[in-house]
Amino acid sequence: MARRPVEASFEAAPNIALVKYWGVRDEALGLPYNSSLSVTLNRLRTRTTVRFDPKLSSDRFLLDGEAQSGGPLTSVSGFLDTVRAIARFETHALVRSTNNFQTASGLASSASGFAALAGAASLAAGLHLSPADLSRLARLGSGSASRSLFGGFVEWRAGTRSDGRDCFARPLHPPSHWPSLVDLVAIIADAPTKPVRSSVAMQRTVATSPTYAQRQRELPRRLRAMKRAIAVRDAPTLFDLTMEECDSFRNVCETTVPTLDYLVPASRAVLADVRAANEENGTTLAGYTHDAGAHVHVFTLQRHAGTLRRRLARIHGVAKVLALSPGRGARPIRRWRA
Ligand code: DP6
């Protein structure tokens, strides 16, 4: 039996996948078909405080100061049920969370959100989980959250077991491994909010995209090559593989029935501009990727970042360009007021 529940706060950052997670073999346990690879980002963060309170008759969830109901409250409350089941108590909780970036916009708020929630809820429940256990727990809230527990370059191994014991993320390299790597995030003005959660959309892809099986066959080779490029800091190879993977991900989305189209014209203009910049340069100096949203991440090296950032900022429909770097993993923080 865990010790008496208290209040705890945790901070976590979003991550951007270089090899995408898209499709689960077990929906209840969130077990993916393929392993994925991501970079945890600096500057953006979610902070979450969880307080188990015997006076509450149901869970409450405040996001950026606003009381949540419906889907967001149901997911948070369902996640707390798992934590309560592990800790063996039934007390409801008040969850207060803030993002220093736009929620549900394709900047992976569910990754940082559930990583911070897993950390805060498990600590508040008196559970002292190992990093692997915390990653497995976060996975149950949102697949990509399993990776946001760790900083730098992170691999989430799909595993093969049906109980998911071997399905968790682990750090490959710390943020300091490649300090000159920059992620220029082209923030698209008026980016639409996601119509359905990725966990639902991806299963439509598995069921209907005629190219999904081919993508799955290609992934182990691409993942191996990408890990090698990161280990030796081979930027052109990493950027080429990042774009190849992004194009493959977009292809299975677009061939899903009904189609999944996350991009808007400005996003497509960013992709085209990165291709043009590489062409003009005669070598690959940048690589684009995007998740299930309209914003585009453009990886490059520090020495090209200034010029490229100005170039991307001039594209019609790009509101601003953030310059981010590999950042730290999730961690407990002292109490704070949302
Ligand atoms: C395209 O883990 O965010 O970003 O369960 O809906 O929160 P939800 O899914 P989520 O899906 C991530 C999909 C992706 C690729 C990736 O991050 O690997």
Assign a CATH topology to domain 181-324.
Alpha-Beta Plaits (3.30.70)
**β-pair partners for 49:** 9, 96
pLDDT at 1: 47
SS3 state of residue 337:
coil
Centroid of chain to Cα 138: 11
**pLDDT for 139-183, tens place per residue?**
999 999 999 999 999 999 999 999 999 999 999 999 999 999 999
Q: pTM here? A: 0.95
Report DSSP letters for 204-259, one per residue: HHHHH-TTHHHHHHHHHHHHHHHHHHHHTT-HHHHHHHHHHHHHHHHHHHHTSSS-
Q: 21: CA distance to ligand 1 center in Å? A: 6
The residue whose CA has the least distance to atom 14 of ligand 1 is 291
108 CA: nearest ligand 1 atom:
3
The residue whose CA has the least distance to atom 7 of ligand 1 is 142
pLDDT at 118: 98
Q: 292: CA distance to ligand 1 center in Å? A: 7
Given a contact cutoff of 8 angstroms between Cβ atoms, the answer to whether 310 and 273 are in contact is no
Ligand 1 binding site (Cβ under 6 Å of any ligand atom): 17, 20-22, 36, 110-111, 142-144, 197-199, 291-292
Contacts with 228 (C-beta within 8 Å, 6 or more apart), sequence order: 234, 237
Flag residues of the chain having pLDDT under 50.
Answer: 1-2
Q: How far apart are CA 244 and CA 264, in angstroms?
A: 20
Q: Which DSSP state fits 33? A: S
114 CA: nearest ligand 1 atom:
7
Q: How far apart are CA 20 and CA 241, in angstroms?
A: 12
How many other CB atoms are there within 10 angstroms of residue 250's CB atom? 18
**pLDDT for 44-80, tens place per residue?**
999 999 999 999 999 999 999 999 999 999 999 999 9
CATH code linked to domain 6-174: 3.30.230.10
Pocket of ligand 1, candidates 149, 198, 212: which has the most ligand atoms within 8 Å of its Cβ, to mutate? 198
In the chain, where the domains are located: 6-174, 181-324
